[in-house]
Chain A
Amino acid sequence: MADIPAAGTVPEMRRDEELTTADGRPLRVALRRSQRQLRRRAFYLVAPLLVFLLVTFGWPIANMIAGSVYNPEVAHFLPLTSSAISDWDGEDVPGEDVFAAMAMDMESGLANRTIGRAAGRINREIPGARSLVMGTARDLEDMQPPYREAFLAEDERWGDLEFWRLIKRETRIVTPAYYLLALDFEYNSRGEIVERPEIYQVYRQLFWRTAWMSLTITALCVLLGYPVAHLLATLPLKTSNVLMILVLLPFWTSLLVRTSAWIVLLQQQGVINDLLVWANIIDASGRIRMIYNQTGTIIAMTHILLPFMILPLYSVMKTIPPSYMRAARSLGATQFTAFTKVYMPLTIPGVAAGVLLVFILAIGYYITPALVGGESGIFISNLIAQNMQGTSAQLKLASALATILLVGVLFFYWLFNKLIGVDRLKFG
C-alpha cells in the first residue's frame, strides 16, 4: 500500500512510520491483540475436547508406555538385598550379607504383603522362583542366622547363580526386559541378550501375521468395494439408494451379530457346508473347515470392514463428472484406457482413505479374530488381551506389545503420508 503513494491521501504517512489505531496504539499490536482474543476464544471452544482427549486418550497411553518399562519390584520390595548385592561379582553364591538382607526384606515384605510382587517379578523369568521365595519367607520364623546356610538347607535352589544374577540385573527401575520378551528375546544367565528358544517364540510371528492378514483384508476390501462403490455412484438415484441401504444395514448391525452370523454360515455343520453336501459337491465326511482358522478371520473381517472402504470410495466417485470418461472416449481412448488413465487416478484419494481406515482398524481388531480365528487366525491383539488378564508381569508384557503395535501403526501412517500424502485423502 505504502508503495503506491496516491496524491492527497494520508499525506503524513511515511514508509518507516508505523500504522496506528485511533487511540494511538500501533496497528500491528492491536491486530495481534484482537487476534489473540479470537484464538483464545477458539481455544476455549476446543478446550473441553482437548481435556477429554488428554484424559481418555493421552493419559492412558502414557500410562501404558510407562508401565511397559517400569520395574520397581526388586528395588522397592527387596531394598536391602538390592543394595547388598551391588558389590557381588556374580561368580559364586553370594555371601552372608546378601542372604541376611534377603531375610530382612522377606520379613518386612511379609508384613507389608509386598514380597509376593517381588517373587512374581522374579518368577517371570525363572519359573518356580515364586514358590521358592514365598515358601522360604513363610518358614523364616523358624530359621536362625547364618541365613546363607539356613536358606541353602531349606532349598538348594538358593544356590542358583541365575537367580541372584537376575536380582542384581533387575534392581534397575527401568527395564527393557518386557520389550525383549515382546520381540521373542531374553537375557541369558550371563545377562546377554539372546533369542528365546524356539518353543517360546510367538510374538514376532503374531506381529507379522497381523500385518499380512490386515493387508490381505485391505486388498480384498479394495477389490470388492471398488466395483460396488462405482455402481453406487453411477446408478440412477432410486436403485443406488436401495444398494446404499444394503451397504449401510450391515454397517449398523452389531459386530457380534455379524460375526456370529458368519459362524453359522461357515462352520462344518453350517449352512454352506450343508448346501455343498446337499448338492453332492462334497460328501458328508469331507466337510470343509472354513472357520476357526485364517480363512474364517479373513472372510468375516473383510465383510465387517467393507463399508469403511465403500463409503469413502463412493463419496469420491460421486464427485467425478461422467463427462470426463465421455471426453476421453471421444478423444479416442478405449474404455479400458479411459478407465485406467482418467477415472482411476481421480479415485485415488478415496482408495487411499479407505485403505488407511481399513488397515488401521484391521491391525488392532480383537473380537472377530477371537471368535472365528481358531488358533491360526488370531491377531496380536488377542494375545495382548490375554496377557492383560494375567499376572502383573503379563500385564507389563501386554503394555510392551501394545506399545509396539502403536508404534507400528504410527509408522504405517508415516509411510502412507510419505507415499500418498494424508492431505489428499477424502473420507467422505
Chain B
Amino acid sequence: MKRKTLLLAAAAVLPAAAAVAQEGSLTIVSWGGAYSMSQQKAYHEPYTDKTGTRILTQDESANALAGIRSQVDAGNVTWDVVDMLQADAQRACDEGLIMQIPHDEWLAEAPDGTPPSDDFIEGTLGECFIPQILYATMFAYNEEAFPDGGPQTVADIWDLEAFPGTRSLQKIPQKNLEWALIADGVPGDEVYDVLATQEGQDRAFAKLDEIKDNVIWWSEGAQPPQMLADKEAVIATAYNGRIFNAQVSEDQPFQIMWDGQMFEVDGWVVPVEKSDEQLELIKDYLYFATDTQRLADQAKYIPYAPARQSSVPMVSTHEETGVEMQPHMPTTEKNFQNAVQFNTDFWADYGDLLEERFNAWLAQ
C-alpha cells in the first residue's frame, strides 16, 4: 500500500518536473495584479499559443533590483526577463547586473519599417532597457469631497483653504519634490535644474512643510484608491491605471487631475549570465512581446500608453467594459499638456542623498 502511494506520488511529480526542465520555458518577473494580467493576456498567452514555450511568472518586481543583484552575486540567475522601472533599470545597468540591449538587432520593426530605435517614444529606450508602457503618477480626488469642483492645478493641491482635507502622497521623495517646486511656481521643464541645487532642494522641502500636517503617506499602489474610497484622504497621488480601475470597474466617484502628471516608463530588462540557448529564447520572446501589435493589445486591459508610437493609433476599447481607452491614456493630448517626464538620470545621481533627507524630514 505504502509502496503504491509512493509510486503514485512519483508518477504525479515526474511529468511536472520534466515539464519544468524541458527546454523552452521562460521565467518572467512582473508586478502582479491587474498589470501582470494585462501582460498575461497581451503577451504571454499568445506567445505560448504560437511557440509552445511555457511561461512561468513571478510577482517580484517590487524587489527587482535587490533580487537581480542577489541572484547575480550568488551566480544563480533564475529570472529570464524582468519588468522594471526605468530608474531601477538604470541603476542595475550601471552596476552591470543586466544586459546591454542592441534594440535594432533584437526587436521588431514597426509595420511601416521604422526601426525600433526611432519607433519607441524618444528618451524611453535605455542602454539595458526595453520600454513597454508609459504610465503616469498624478493627483486624483474624490468628487464627493468637493461638490463645488475639485483642484485643477498642482498649486491647488497646496491650497488648504480652498481644498481642505487630508492628502495622501507616496512615501518617497521622487515626484513629491518635483510637484512641490511646480506648486511653488517653477515651470515643469526647469524642475530638475532647480532641484539639482541646494537652494532648490531647500525650497522643495519648505514647500512640502506647508502641507506636511495634512498628509498621510502610502507605500503600496493599492492604498491610494482605498484611501480615497474610505475618504481617509480626499486627494491622493496614484498611478493612473489604479484610478481608472476604480472609476470604470468599481464605479467610484474619482477624478484624475492631469495637470502636472509625471510620466515614467516601465519595461523589460534581461539579467546577465544567461546561457546562449536561453538567450535565444529570451530574444525570441522579446521580439514578439514588444512588437507594435502586442503593445497596442496591452492597452485593452490597462490604461497605460504603449511605448511605441506605431502602437498608439491601434489602441481600442477596454476588454472588460468596452470603454474607449484613448481618453484615459496619459499620452492623450488633453491629458499630456502639462506633463513632466520623470528624470531617471537625475534620481540616479541624487536619489541616495534626497531619500535620506526625505526620511530625516519625515522623522522630524
Q: A residues touching B (Cβ–Cβ < 8 Å)?
A: 112-114, 116-117, 119-120, 123-124, 127-131, 134, 199-202, 205-206, 209, 267-269, 292, 370, 374-376, 378, 383, 386, 388-395
Contact = CB atoms under 8 A, between A and B. Distances in A.
Interface of B: 62-63, 65-66, 69, 91, 93-96, 100, 166, 171, 196, 205, 216-217, 219, 230-232, 345, 348-353, 355-357, 359-363
27 contacts: A113-B96, A116-B93, A124-B352, A127-B349, A127-B352, A127-B353, A128-B196, A128-B350, A199-B357, A200-B353, A200-B357, A200-B360, A202-B363, A205-B360, A206-B363, A209-B363, A388-B66, A389-B62, A389-B63, A389-B66, A390-B65, A390-B352, A391-B351, A392-B69, A392-B95, A394-B355, A395-B66
A38 to B, nearest CB: 34
Contact of A114 (B93, B96, B360): B96
Contact of B95 (A116, A127, A267): A116
A370 B219 contact: yes
B216 A374 contact: yes
A268 B100 CA distance: 49
Shortest 4 CB-CB contacts between residues of A and residues of B = A116-B94, A113-B96, A202-B360, A375-B362
A130 B351 CA distance: 11
B94 A130 contact: yes
The interface residues of chain B, by DSSP majority, are classed as helix
A395 B69 contact: yes
A120 B90 CA distance: 11
A376 B212 CA distance: 12
Nearest to B219: A370
Contacts of A202: 356, 359-360, 363
Contacts of B351: 390-391
Contact of B352 (A123, A199, A269, A375): A123
B95 A120 contact: yes
Contacts of A124: 352
Contact of A117 (B95, B205, B357, B359): B95
Contacts of A134: 94
Contacts of A391: 91, 95, 351-352
Nearest to A77: B96
Contacts of B166: 268
B199 to A, nearest CB: 13
A383 B359 contact: yes
B363 A376 contact: yes
Nearest to B168: A292
B98 to A, nearest CB: 10
A320 B69 CA distance: 55
B21 to A, nearest CB: 25
A119 B345 CA distance: 13
A120 B95 CA distance: 8
A63 to B, nearest CB: 10
Contacts of B93: 116
Given A127-B352, A391-B91, A199 B66 contact: no
A180 to B, nearest CB: 13
B215 to A, nearest CB: 8
Contact of B232 (A117, A120, A128, A267): A267
B125 to A, nearest CB: 15
